[in-house]
Structure 1
Amino acid sequence: MQKFIGTGVALITPFNQDLTVDFDALKKLVHFNIDNGTNYLVINGTTAESVTITKEEKAQIIKVIVQENNHRLPLVLGIGGNNTQAVVEELQTTDLTHIDAVLSVAPYYSKPTQEGFYQHFKAVSLASPKPVILYNVPGRTAKNMLPETTLRLARDFENIIAVKEAGNNIQQYSELLKNKPKDFLVISGDDDLALGVVLAGGAGVISVIGQAFPKEFSKMIQLGLKGENKEAYKIHYKLMDVVNYIFAENNPAGIKAVLKKIGFCSDAVRLPLVPASKDLQQKIANFVDAY
């Protein structure tokens, strides 16, 4: 589990203007993060627009990232959804040879009860040959998985090793950190709260903005893990505006606008998402120029 302490980044899926996958940009992004302090990479997560990339594209994305990574960083693969049986089948049929853990998002739209969350992730745990990182993001799934459910899963299933908590709720983070099993990892899924979570005892972050500023963001998290809060907060404050910008409209349109500005890829996204507005793009451009 030491593999997942520090900064993970939820990689985007770069697209060409015709909305085909831009594998050259993806390769550049992978190397940029490996070379600048990122601790692990998350493939085909929700930031990668996983619901609008095809099964064939997902397989090719995994292949390319595995090749470019060449065993240098741990790899986490997003496999989740609101059809439990389909998630189980994907876990059983996907080649996970080069994958270190699975990140599985809480079921969306269906709004299950807490027992429904438990039974869903029980099925995921039993089907997964790799460690499982739970992903709670109620702003997107429309239902919060409560700390008691997360901790029940952590205690009952040995291969459930962590939660990516993204409820933007300090009290919920505190409950998880206070009551978690000793070796269970609480990972921030909120870029704006990541440093505070780490200083309170969290294991790190799975970040969106980190892929654009890996050196700075990773250094901030490492300082936080060492308890060097004053130096860490200097970086936090420098990045605070752009963190707010990238989530102002939708994710990943915001981070793609940042990556376009710094020369990595286009800002193309697949419907129903649309690129960041001109006003937001201008704010992002102004930030990058000043930074």
Structure 2
Amino acid sequence: MKLNGIIAYPITPFKADSQEVDFDALSITLNTLLEHDCDAIAPLGSAGESAYLSWEEWQKVAEKSIEIVNHRVPVILGISELTTNMAIQKAKKAEELGADVIMVLPISYWKLTDQEIYDYYQEIAAATKLPIMVYNNPATSGVDLSPELIVRMFQDIENISMVKDSTGDIQRMHKFHELTQGQLPFYNGCNPLALEAFCAGASGWCTVAPNLLGKLPRQLYQATNAGDLAQAQKLFYKQLPLLRFIVQGGLPKTVKAGLNELGFSVGAPRKPLQSASPSEIHQLKSLLKFATTA
């Protein structure tokens, strides 16, 4: 499967009084992302607070998300687990529920060797027929997958078919292209790198930005895809201050604050994460206005 364009990451809404998952709000936010012409939906990433959900909650959010999207675009389910066994359990469940792709991020307590990482992916791949997006995000996972290791897995393991890189290092993307003669589809996961990544040949941008910025991220993709660099630059610099802010402030906190300000009732992040402060909300509103004012 080849994905192109904007891969949108929804948040997981919680009820204000109980912090239980709010499935009505989930439906509203997912349908809104689809109205923003996103090319794929990727529930249960870091913005979706997957690390803070129980196994039962993870299954319910996955099932409900796939049901709501209803084949309108591909669904990529996020899997980030310390143990291979739990990652396999989630991969099997993702396939059973009808996901189109799984995005797999190894999590480390003990530092993992390249062979341990390779075996982690190989065993997950053996347990499912789903295409696998390798996800490299050392800032959250404690694991940094080298381009050479990722390319080796892409070449050796049949259903590893794409990579998302969130390091913010554009050289990684050049390396993916060089080592595979452009055969490995790569996706940008670093929001402030969106323009450079598209110019480097990224197949898509994995981002929470459409939650707050509507169709602007897709317009950026369309401009770069059409070779209109002047328009792409204009669109990117409107979005950049907000993109920086949401990354620096933490995605669940800042995106939920922004959605609440936009009239969506999505609750607060799950503790120990905290809600945005009044000063952060004030700054967020100012950046939203700057990005969305013609």
**Aligned-partner Cα distance in 2 for 1:120–1:74:** 25
CA drift at 1:93: 4.2
Query: Does the CA-based 8 Å contact 1:7-1:206 persist in structure 2?
Result: yes
What aligned pairs does 1:86-125 form with structure 2 within 5 A after superposition?
86-125=86-125
Matched residue, 1:56: 56
What aligned pairs does 1:159-174 form with structure 2 within 5 A after superposition?
159-174=159-174
User: Within the alignment, does 1:237 sit opposite 2:237 as a pair?
Assistant: yes
User: Within the alignment, does 1:21 sit opposite 2:21 as a pair?
Assistant: yes
Query: Does the CA-based 8 Å contact 2:79-2:104 persist in structure 1?
Result: yes
Matched residue, 2:10: 11
**Aligned-partner Cα distance in 1 for 2:92–2:289:** 46
Matched residue, 1:198: 198
**Aligned-partner Cα distance in 2 for 1:59–1:97:** 9
> Is 55-64 or 147-156 further displaced after alignment?
55-64
TM-score, normalised with respect to structure 2: 0.93
Q: In 2 relative to 1, CA 95–177 (structure 1 residues): closer, same or farther, beyond 3 Å?
A: closer
**Aligned-partner Cα distance in 1 for 2:242–2:63:** 31
What aligned pairs does 1:46-85 form with structure 2 within 5 A after superposition?
46-85=46-85
**Aligned-partner Cα distance in 2 for 1:25–1:232:** 32
CA drift at 1:103: 0.6
SS in 2 for 1:110: coil
* Counterpart amino acid of residue 109 in structure 2: Y
CA drift at 1:170: 1.7
**Aligned-partner Cα distance in 1 for 2:267–2:235:** 26
Q: In 2 relative to 1, CA 177–129 (structure 1 residues): closer, same or farther, beyond 3 Å?
A: same
Q: In 2 relative to 1, CA 189–125 (structure 1 residues): closer, same or farther, beyond 3 Å?
A: same
**Aligned-partner Cα distance in 2 for 1:97–1:15:** 22
* Counterpart amino acid of residue 62 in structure 1: A
TM-score, normalised with respect to structure 1: 0.94
**Aligned-partner Cα distance in 1 for 2:142–2:53:** 22
Query: Does the CA-based 8 Å contact 1:131-1:159 persist in structure 2?
Result: yes
Query: Does the CA-based 8 Å contact 1:259-1:267 persist in structure 2?
Result: no
**Aligned-partner Cα distance in 1 for 2:145–2:63:** 32
**Aligned-partner Cα distance in 2 for 1:110–1:150:** 20
**Aligned-partner Cα distance in 1 for 2:257–2:199:** 30
What RMSD, in angstroms, separates the aligned Cα atoms of the two structures?
1.7
CA drift at 1:61: 1.7
* Counterpart amino acid of residue 230 in structure 1: A
Query: Does the CA-based 8 Å contact 2:107-2:141 persist in structure 1?
Result: yes
User: C-alpha deviations, 1:87-115, integer Å up to 9, x for none?
Assistant: 12332344534211001112233321222
Unaligned runs of 5+ in 2: none
State the identity as a percent: 26
Query: Does the CA-based 8 Å contact 1:5-1:203 persist in structure 2?
Result: yes
Matched residue, 2:136: 136
Matched residue, 2:157: 157
> Is 141-150 or 261-270 further displaced after alignment?
261-270
> Is 223-232 or 253-262 further displaced after alignment?
223-232
**Aligned-partner Cα distance in 1 for 2:251–2:33:** 19
Matched residue, 1:36: 36
Q: Tell me the matched-pair count.
A: 290
SS in 2 for 1:220: helix
* Counterpart amino acid of residue 274 in structure 1: Q
CA drift at 1:11: 1.2
Matched residue, 2:248: 248
